[in-house]
Structure 1
Amino acid sequence: MVKNVVDLIKKHKVKSIVTVIFLTAYYFCLPKQLFNDPTSTVIYSEEGELLGAKIAEDEQWRFPKNDSIPEKFKQCIIYFEDEYFYSHPGFNPVSMMKAIKQNWEAGKVVRGGSTLTQQVIRLSRKGKKRSYFEKFIELILATRLEIRSSKEEILNLYASNAPFGGNVVGLDVAAWRYFGVLPHQLSWAESATLAVLPNAPSLIYPGKNQEQLLEKRNRLLKKLLVEGILDQLTYELSIAESLPQKPFLLPQHAPHLIERMAKVKKGERITSSIDFSLQQNINNIVARHHAILEQNQIHNTAVLVIDIATRKVRSYVGNTPTTKSNQKDVDIITAARSTGSVLKPFLYAALLDGGELLPETLVADVPTYIGGYHPKNYSERYDGAVPAKRALARSLNVPAVRLLQSYNLEKFRDQLNYFDLRDIDKPADHYGLSLILGGAESNLWDLCKSYANLASTLNHFNETSSEYYAKEFQEPILLKEEVVDFGNKTSEKSLFDAGSIYLTFEAMKEVNRPEGNEAWEFYDSSKEIAWKTGTSFGNRDAWAIGVTKQYVVGVWVGNADGEGRPGLTGLSGAAPVLFDVFDVLPQSSWFERPFDELTEAEVCDNSGFLASPICPKKSRWIPVSSTRTSPCPYHRWVHLDTQKQYRVHAQCQDPSTIESEAWFVLPPLMAHYYKSNNAEYRPLPPYRNDCKNTIGTPMEFIFPKANAKVFLPKNLEGETNELVLKIAHSKPETTIFWYVDDVFIGSTETFHEMAIRPATGKHLITVVDSLGNELVQWVEIEK
């Protein structure tokens, strides 16, 4: 048999070569990809609802090819365009001959004999003349397409690339533009309307030529009735439907997300992680608050919602529905803005994790001067001393700066690298201590991601019998099909332990809610939320970030151009949006207590430090690492006379008659502010008159001497050298508090030296030790 074929080829060499050439040309005549037109970037919600689209580069609304078309439209297009579609090899000789005859008799083209397959080929060969020669080429290519592709694939190619009038290309866009629905939601009448449009899209257009369009549609519906595709009732209801009068605008439920995705998935069909109903609700919330905020010329708001367990972004609202002049197109979620106070919880967790702080430890809230930096609380008032968790809840600036200084600025800056806050990309000395008050910039995406990572660390620890995951810190997910890989379980924490994170969230739960929500905690249905606000310098940025066991919600409010507005704060501007968003989220339980990273300990009832033997005590949960913190330094024995009115000592009172009592004593400056806010605070009783002269002064200035004149030269860089103040104390371990012109500049222990750069002129230097002893000295500076 093979030998006969070989002999036949040898006998007819020329014919064989021609045949091979023809078959090869026929095989390769059809491009691998018929359509190379740019397509729109289209994004859907997780449920399959259209969130929006971005027009293609050629200004056409053309969605990427769909894998299937609805059955209604399939029946309509086949019975209107190509009734024998499933039985012909790409062309229909009978239809072609009828078309040629009618066109010859009319002297012009009045009927086309093209099959749907030929129409797909014609659509792919844009701009070709509709001549008989071109028809012949289309026929050849159509047969080749039939060999290569299934009938369903050919139908999908037609539905995705057919013109539907104007700049509308493809069924998916047409369904939205003319009826405002997804293709599978089209009725029979709507499907029939769209089926007849590609036949003459320039002539028959919704809103125009209504009679012709209605006639064609109803004729098709009648045919479907006759063929048994429609029953009588469906037919009658269908012809009663009205025609579309004008195109609908495509949905724009997440325009900024579309722009973001178009940068990485341009021209693709994307199924996102967005919850459609939640996105709509939050869009409405943002629009409602925008109407209020713009009265104060505050134009922009952004909201991000992340599911903690999956890291999926459930809502992405990049800006308000404002005007172009007010930067409505700016995606605030990715914009770098001053952080205000939203980094404070990270510092609080770091201090707890490092064993340097307990939740109720009193921290100083007094006028502070550190190397020329003079932080102030937003209220410009001071508490003297305040529990650390209360300082966080109230977002007090001075305690935060002092805690950052004591913790170590460089160490904290390095820890921020774990959060991958991409806009915080400079070394610690660039930001200084203002880092904790908004001296750095970050964005809503990274900040929400960071809070989600902490919450997830805590959740996983409780879910895995006290283990962590190796890759806990993850980027949020925007695509439905993506899944986060947290890595393997490990006994090692990623950054902060679960106990420190839990206590941080507990402290954040105590933040005062905005006006109208003061009584939230008294309702059984209230949500327990750990949340933090932030306000940048000049009232330019207002932040609110909230965390529950299931969700992180982040809100930014302000003006995209950086203009500050009076009264714009995190509490007044962003927090009301935050709580409205939580109101439309499912109820979430509170975090479970991570017992293996916490321990019960006796702490001082007054100071919050670990209890000393003479402290009034209470039991509290603290991080295991915090058991090594120092005991309360503020309780000491005080020796009193028999009436307990005055302090005495052995040189002026018989020791056998001295009454000793444990006394809560704050350093003088802390006590000065503390007692004005705490009526129960008892200052130390004064010494009895006959005891004062025997006390002596335990401190003495080493430098400068009284009324000294000091000349400060300049260094090689042209900066004035520092003046180093020095004193000696009979008990060097005593804490010394330093003031220049009645402004507190710092404290020292053991080595009592303080460097300052005072201005020219006279200055009053005051030092006070923790026992209340005071020294003053005048110095005159010359330069």
Structure 2
Amino acid sequence: MHKITTYIKHHKIKSLTLAVLLIAYYFCLPKQLFKDPTTTVITSSNNKLLGAQIAKDGQWRFPKNDSIPEKFKTCIIQFEDEYFYKHPGFNPISIFKALRDNAKSGAVKRGGSTITQQVIRLSRKGRSRTYFEKIKEIILATRLECRESKNEILSYYSSHAPFGGNVVGLDAASWRYFNRDANQLSWAESATLAVLPNAPSLIYPGKNQERLLKKRDRLLKKLLENNIIDSLTYQLSIAEGLPQKPYPLPQIAPHLLQRVAQTHYGKRIKTTIDTKLQQRINYIIKTHYSQLSQNEIHNASVLVLDVKTRQVLAYIGNTPTDKAHQKDVDIIDKPRSTGSILKPFLYAAMLDAGDLLPNTLVADVPTQFGSYNPENYNKSYDGAVHASRALSRSLNVPAVRMLQEFGLDRFHHYLKALQLKDLKYNANHYGLSLILGGAESNLWDLCKSYAALSSTLNHFSETSGEYFSNEFCEPTFFASDKIDFGNKTNDKTLFDAASIYLTYESLKEVNRPESDESWAFFDSSKEIAWKTGTSFGFRDAWAIGTTKDYVVGVWVGNADGEGRPGLVGVQTAAPILFDVFDILPNSDWFPIPFDEMQEIDICKQSGYRASQNCNTIEQKFVQVSGLKTGSCPYHVLIHVDRNESFQVNSSCEDLSNITHKSWFVLPPLMAYYYKTKNPFYKPLPKFRSDCLGQQTISMAFIYPKENNAIFLPKNFDGKTNDLVLKIAHSKPESTLFWYLDNTFIGSTKDIHDMGIIPTQGDHTITVVDEFGNDAKRKITISE
């Protein structure tokens, strides 16, 4: 050390010059050798190529890969640089031989560059190949050898070497020329790719085949002579043919590739996609598309989530349609009218809030809220229907009435908690149509919500009664992401486990259409909670289903919003849903969350908590919040004679002959429609004529509806058809008196229908029964 210090003191200029040269040498090599744009590449969970998007400069240049297949590594070293692992970046002997041979011939006959020098030359693209440039390359090559390992230098070369045309790098070349991953290449294929960078503009698949074949076989001969391959491998290798033209790169998940490229352009991304599942669903979509397109339905999308990991297992953004029908549009994250797909959330919310028991009877009668007049899909009414059955059958009128009873703002709050990003307006903007498709959402958010509910049930069971604070988290298609479900807590995140379970129990009942046509696809052995939806105008068809392990979501329609007859969830989306579930492993059904439930007496007929008047009582487990619901309002205790033919009281019958009986009684309008679907429904018996007491009288209009605008059509003779008025009365045998704008127009008995031909304009219809009760209805007659 003393000698070095003494030397620096006596040779300051030389020392300074040496220091400057060392500093210059240290910094002469750029920190980032290559800045070329790269191809966006996505792979599956097991590293299979799903798709690639060409780089911005039009080159197929995959991101740098540090892993180089041994066969290609051996071939490229044997062909380009046998002493690669021994030289410091340049090979003096090779340079001397190259200078000698080139001087003799008067032209460049051979090069003396090492692989390291070639990496430097590739990084300094466009430089003229002069002797001065060659000196620069040697200096930079030695600096690269000091900075990087030999394997790293090889990975630079294999990732950036030209392979002919617009193909750059080993990975891209392997897929373009052999349609497989570089790790799967044979010795002949590896040798072919090893000789291509030597003259990529002159020799590549489809051009100068004979010359390419000779170079490849010469390399294979060298591998044989060096005992790298045996004679049998050599014979088999030289018998292999050459690729004739580039293959298109795989496009197994093109729309996921688009989505990844938005945030990770030019990178190699490992996704959570299951390759085999993705390919099988691609085939399912292709098969259904061939049928749907005959009805001019051109688009569909499917999303499959793993409930436990919240990973995306399959992502099909669209059908294999054409550009005219927006084949490149990814429908999965696009807002579409929800149809009935939100109904399960309302049902769960009402259960969770304690406003409903699973089988409570709800009204299904003609209903009007101002100018809003919801109708069931089949245009008929049940009068009264169990809430769970209304959900599984996707009845519209009960859903709207339930929403009105629950509260629009309350339900909107629940939906916002689900983080449906397309729900951008306040509750009043949507109104009661919110439950029937008045709002928009997307397949991603809806599947995410169903997965969160399923996961809530799973976690509640696994933790013996606890929830997770971050249950409603975003799913992921990035393999590197790990979902954080938050901390354990005794407080529910949104819905309690019992409300979710009871909702799923209802959704497990198949909401078949009125006929059983086209339902052979349903495998009843699989327990799936599922729901369909159809938007107004037949523009969107939905089907979303969940098991303990998987959520499958399907949307079918036209990307441009064109509606089509038959574009109904149960007919177009549901068959795809069950085709997908058929290829997924079977799952056990969700365990019952007993910690959030209590067994109580339920009135079997009405679904309410049993009152003392209920005839048939059964014990059912319900959500704890349901304990605050009221008792059955439809069973009343009446007094009848021994034959149960008439109601009686002490004024007309001896007490010993009076029987006390519980009777199921619905309000008149509900009863009117209920008895058409339930022939065993028995109205209250009449009071015997000699009795002083009488039952409570009630009546309600069946038609027309309040503030209804009515058009009176004409028949073939040009005569205006009658407007038929209908009313339901609790005592049908009573006489009713009808008035139009205070003018008496007639009376009815037993069957209370009245035909009139009112003039154009506003009218008031008044009906008075023989007991003095009245009902009024305003209508407008238009041309």
Distance 1:51 1:780 in 2: 62
Partner residue, 1:342? 341
What does 1:217-616 align with in structure 2 at a 5 Å threshold?
A: 217-512=216-511, 515-517=517-519, 520=522, 526-615=525-614, 616=616
How far residue 766 of structure 1 moved from its aligned partner, in angstroms, is: 5.8
Retained in 2: the 8 A contact 1:634–1:664?
yes
How far residue 75 of structure 1 moved from its aligned partner, in angstroms, is: 0.4
Distance 2:699 2:341 in 1: 44
Distance 2:463 2:168 in 1: 52
Asked whether 1:124 is paired with 2:131, we answer: no
Partner residue, 1:207? 206
Asked whether 1:151 is paired with 2:150, we answer: yes
How far residue 9 of structure 1 moved from its aligned partner, in angstroms, is: 1.7
Distance 1:235 1:519, change over 3 A: closer
Q: SS state of the match for residue 448, structure 1?
A: helix
Instruction: Provide TM-score, normalisation by structure 1.
Output: 0.89
Cα distance per residue 1:142-193 (max 9 Å; x no partner): 1110111110000000000000111111000000000011111110000000
Q: SS state of the match for residue 263, structure 2?
A: coil
Q: SS state of the match for residue 104, structure 1?
A: helix
Partner residue, 2:681? 681
How far residue 659 of structure 1 moved from its aligned partner, in angstroms, is: 2.8
Partner residue, 1:634? 634
How far residue 760 of structure 1 moved from its aligned partner, in angstroms, is: 5.5
Q: Write the letter of the residue equivalent to 1:303.
A: V
Distance 1:435 1:217 in 2: 68
Distance 2:452 2:16 in 1: 69
Retained in 2: the 8 A contact 1:279–1:315?
yes
Distance 1:371 1:501 in 2: 33
Distance 2:376 2:766 in 1: 25
Distance 2:617 2:689 in 1: 35
Cα distance per residue 1:317-362 (max 9 Å; x no partner): 0001110110011110000000111110011111111111111111
Partner residue, 1:163? 162
Distance 1:667 1:255 in 2: 57
Distance 1:773 1:418 in 2: 51
Asked whether 1:46 is paired with 2:37, we answer: no
How far residue 5 of structure 1 moved from its aligned partner, in angstroms, is: 2.2
Instruction: Provide TM-score, normalisation by structure 2.
Output: 0.89
Cα distance per residue 1:399-419 (max 9 Å; x no partner): 000001111110110111221
Distance 2:34 2:611 in 1: 80
Distance 1:240 1:518, change over 3 A: closer
Retained in 1: the 8 A contact 2:699–2:775?
no
Retained in 1: the 8 A contact 2:522–2:578?
no
Q: SS state of the match for residue 252, structure 2?
A: coil
Retained in 1: the 8 A contact 2:120–2:137?
yes
Distance 1:27 1:170 in 2: 28
Distance 1:97 1:766 in 2: 116
How far residue 520 of structure 1 moved from its aligned partner, in angstroms, is: 4.7
Distance 1:74 1:94 in 2: 22
Retained in 1: the 8 A contact 2:668–2:699?
no
User: Which piece of structure 1 moves more, 51-60 or 648-657?
Assistant: 648-657
Retained in 1: the 8 A contact 2:521–2:575?
no
Distance 1:696 1:345 in 2: 39
User: Which piece of structure 1 moves more, 310-319 or 98-107?
Assistant: 98-107
What does 1:58-97 align with in structure 2 at a 5 Å threshold?
A: 58-97=57-96
Q: Write the letter of the residue equivalent to 2:627.
A: T
Partner residue, 1:7? 6
Distance 2:92 2:517 in 1: 78
Distance 1:59 1:393 in 2: 53
Retained in 1: the 8 A contact 2:687–2:695?
no
Cα distance per residue 1:679-733 (max 9 Å; x no partner): 11111222334448x64987999xxxxxxxxxxxxxxxxxxxxxxxxxxxxxxxx
Cα distance per residue 1:87-122 (max 9 Å; x no partner): 111111111111112212222212111100000000
Q: SS state of the match for residue 507, structure 1?
A: helix
Distance 2:652 2:308 in 1: 69
How far residue 138 of structure 1 moved from its aligned partner, in angstroms, is: 0.7
Q: Write the letter of the residue equivalent to 2:168.
A: V
Distance 2:228 2:668 in 1: 93
Distance 1:779 1:349, change over 3 A: closer
Cα distance per residue 1:257-305 (max 9 Å; x no partner): 1111111111111000111110111111111100110000000010000
Retained in 1: the 8 A contact 2:687–2:694?
no
Cα distance per residue 1:371-399 (max 9 Å; x no partner): 22111111111110111110000000000
Distance 1:105 1:518 in 2: 83
Distance 1:776 1:65 in 2: 81
Distance 1:227 1:472 in 2: 61
User: Which piece of structure 1 moves more, 353-362 or 544-553?
Assistant: 353-362
Distance 1:428 1:777 in 2: 31
* Structure 1: unaligned runs, 5 residues or longer: 702-738, 742-758
Distance 1:77 1:85 in 2: 10
Q: SS state of the match for residue 347, structure 2?
A: helix
Retained in 1: the 8 A contact 2:338–2:533?
yes
Distance 2:696 2:117 in 1: 107
Asked whether 1:669 is paired with 2:665, we answer: no
CA RMSD of aligned residues (A): 2.2
Cα distance per residue 1:605-634 (max 9 Å; x no partner): 111111111211112221111122111100
Distance 1:232 1:16, change over 3 A: same
Retained in 2: the 8 A contact 1:352–1:623?
yes
Distance 2:672 2:384 in 1: 10
How far residue 521 of structure 1 moved from its aligned partner, in angstroms, is: 6.2
Distance 2:58 2:202 in 1: 21
Distance 1:328 1:777, change over 3 A: closer
Distance 1:519 1:31, change over 3 A: closer
Q: Write the letter of the residue equivalent to 2:638.
A: V
Q: SS state of the match for residue 333, structure 1?
A: coil
User: Which piece of structure 1 moves more, 683-692 or 439-448?
Assistant: 683-692
Partner residue, 1:620? 620
Cα distance per residue 1:200-238 (max 9 Å; x no partner): 111111012111111000000000000111011111111
Distance 1:246 1:290 in 2: 31
Q: SS state of the match for residue 332, structure 2?
A: helix
Distance 1:696 1:341 in 2: 41
Retained in 2: the 8 A contact 1:697–1:773?
no
Q: Write the letter of the residue equivalent to 2:637.
A: W
Q: SS state of the match for residue 305, structure 1?
A: strand
Retained in 1: the 8 A contact 2:394–2:511?
no
Q: SS state of the match for residue 263, structure 1?
A: helix
Distance 1:519 1:663, change over 3 A: farther
Distance 1:257 1:437 in 2: 30
Distance 2:681 2:632 in 1: 16
Distance 1:106 1:176 in 2: 39
Q: Write the letter of the residue equivalent to 1:95.
A: S
Partner residue, 1:764? 765
Retained in 1: the 8 A contact 2:306–2:312?
yes
Partner residue, 1:177? 176
Retained in 2: the 8 A contact 1:699–1:775?
no
Distance 1:583 1:657 in 2: 63
Distance 1:263 1:593 in 2: 42
Retained in 1: the 8 A contact 2:95–2:111?
yes
Distance 1:278 1:766 in 2: 65
Distance 1:303 1:780 in 2: 47
* Structure 2: unaligned runs, 5 residues or longer: 701-738, 742-759
Asked whether 1:18 is paired with 2:17, we answer: yes
Q: Write the letter of the residue equivalent to 1:83.
A: E
